[in-house]
Chain A
């Protein structure tokens, strides 16, 4: 009763951070619900991964089978559907990741269970499980309550919480795969690595990064001028790379690169969490944005609320002067 089943996520033999981050949320919910945390690891050749998860002092259930060599949403859905019947957890928790989003909504529909996507926190109060979500460009939070059900399904936003340190040792229990045969209608073909460009922005000391606020590529020369003056490389938000203003290999964020420069100048970038995840490790962050409510200011060290097209040319001139 009241158990929280957490699906650990891994890819190419490595556990992804979200697996550890969920260890910051699941235990407190389990405690409030009077149950325990069980971590499910599904894959092929996963002994090491299962052991590593057990170091959080939780019970790990390992489903080790050739059929799970690569991620396949249909297979995961089938396996989890059977495991929910078997284990009857109060909550099934996964990451809101390329894996989680590919099967959790379908599983919720199949099992007719309540589902909340991309929670940033979960709490159990007065007999009700509640999730906090962050919506409308990160400007509004929503509290969503689950109606009573056998199992509540929830996915957790990546990077929403800090992963705790492993604390104790737990047990690994092997379980037979509920999936007995391969499925013909969806096949994994291959992974294709991201393209490599001329500059590796993960190595840059200074980055000048632009977002949708650039408006059009004819405004790029102002930015290039600034970058040249301070020997910076140019990067961008997803909006800037999608628009074709900045090469794709210079995208900062969850679906791009994680950068840790000495100085990061964010110009006309709102600061969506996917972007913040890629740059909040920068030593000093400067943000220029005309919207005082822009979430980017939450991680900035120096903030300018203004039109970047007025600030940037003046900044370039001043920096040239000062640096002689």
Chain B
């Protein structure tokens, strides 16, 4: 099996204060911590599990800055074989269709049976890149996959639907699968793997290297315009309980008991 896993370096905004820059189109990411997108982490693990089970190799593909090489090396430490990092500031990053077009450009000369992406990005949550990529490549796809069974010339993908219902579909290979979190238990990189990863091949390429016309994937090429970002007003009717942690606990305990809630 030849698998390509597409991963993205994203900011963790779940606990961070987010501020919009004066340009109104970007957020101040100077204080964010970045790491692999959650779903992509599961995609890396799934690609390595398949390699361990069926043999073959795994290529990593990522569009991102130099700093993201930590993440790429980590994927290689877990068992991926080589990596390509696309760096080019002419790519319209807000448009998942154009991001997919760049990824397709990077894959057009490659042989593969499977391509994995995460099913959603923690930053923009489009859930679109992988499915768009399949269309550009002209191959089959299934999204939100929580179990992969590789068969002869085919793959069975268990798609996770709302309410936890699974839809099992069978696709002819090659295929793109967008991987959902919880599909496996991502491993920690072994020390030996971390050392080996430093020696693995990591190619850095631009749009020109890929033969992708920048005019076709630029902000101007996008059919949607990111007009502005703003912090939504949150109306909270909540009673905020104040004090030291113990006082808060005490006040809450009395609210709950007096109100007959417990």
Contact: B232 with A140, CB < 8 Å?
yes
Is B208 interfacial (CB-CB < 8 Å)? Answer: no
Contact A136:B27 (CB < 8 A) given known A303-B241, A318-B253: yes
Is A280 interfacial (CB-CB < 8 Å)? Answer: no
**What residues of chain A lie closer than 8 Å to B261, measured between beta carbons?**
206, 262-263, 284
User: Contact flags (1/0) for A196-235 with B, using CB distance below 8 Å?
Assistant: 0000000000100000100000000000000000110000
The chain B residue sitting closest to A230, CB to CB, is B262
**What residues of chain A lie closer than 8 Å to B115, measured between beta carbons?**
none
Contact A139:B18 (CB < 8 A) given known A194-B165, A263-B256, A314-B250: yes
Contact: A191 with B225, CB < 8 Å?
no
Please tell me which one of the listed residues A115, A241, A297, A318 contacts residue B236 in the complex, with CB atoms under 8 A apart: A297
Contact: B230 with A110, CB < 8 Å?
no
Contact: B249 with A315, CB < 8 Å?
yes
**What residues of chain B lie closer than 8 Å to A248, measured between beta carbons?**
164, 182
User: Contact flags (1/0) for B241-253 with A, using CB distance below 8 Å?
Assistant: 1000110111011
Q: How far is the CB of A32 from chain B (nearest CB, A)?
A: 17
**Interface size class for chain A?**
35 or more
Contact A191:B166 (CB < 8 A) given known A134-B232, A238-B182, A302-B241: yes
The chain B residue sitting closest to A301, CB to CB, is B238
User: A305 CA to B124 CA in the complex, in Å?
Assistant: 26
Contact: B97 with A108, CB < 8 Å?
yes
Main secondary structure, interface of B, reads: mixed
**What residues of chain A lie closer than 8 Å to B131, measured between beta carbons?**
73, 101-106
**What residues of chain A lie closer than 8 Å to B246, measured between beta carbons?**
310, 314
**What residues of chain A lie closer than 8 Å to B144, measured between beta carbons?**
98, 101-102
Most buried by A among B18, B122, B134: B18
Q: How far is the CB of B101 from chain A (nearest CB, A)?
A: 8
User: Contact flags (1/0) for A53-68 with B, using CB distance below 8 Å?
Assistant: 0000000000000000
Contact: B143 with A98, CB < 8 Å?
yes
Q: How far is the CB of A200 from chain B (nearest CB, A)?
A: 13
* Contacts from B to A (Cβ < 8 Å): 11, 13-18, 20, 27, 94, 96-97, 100, 119, 122-129, 131-132, 134-136, 140-144, 156, 158-172, 181-182, 185, 222-232, 234-241, 245-246, 248-250, 252-257, 259, 261-262
State the 8 A-B residue pairs at the shortest beta-carbon distance, nearest first.
A194-B164, A114-B223, A318-B253, A314-B249, A310-B245, A242-B182, A106-B135, A105-B128
**What residues of chain A lie closer than 8 Å to B255, measured between beta carbons?**
302
**What residues of chain A lie closer than 8 Å to B252, measured between beta carbons?**
286, 302, 304, 311, 315, 318
A226-277 interface (Cβ within 8 A of B): 230-231, 238, 241-242, 244, 248-249, 251, 254-257, 262-263, 270
Is A168 interfacial (CB-CB < 8 Å)? Answer: no
Contact: B126 with A256, CB < 8 Å?
no
Q: For the A-B complex with A193-B165, A287-B238 known, give 18 more contacts whose Cβ atoms are closer than 8 Å.
A: A98-B162, A105-B132, A106-B141, A112-B223, A115-B223, A137-B13, A140-B232, A143-B229, A144-B225, A185-B140, A185-B172, A187-B170, A302-B241, A303-B240, A311-B245, A311-B249, A315-B249, A319-B256
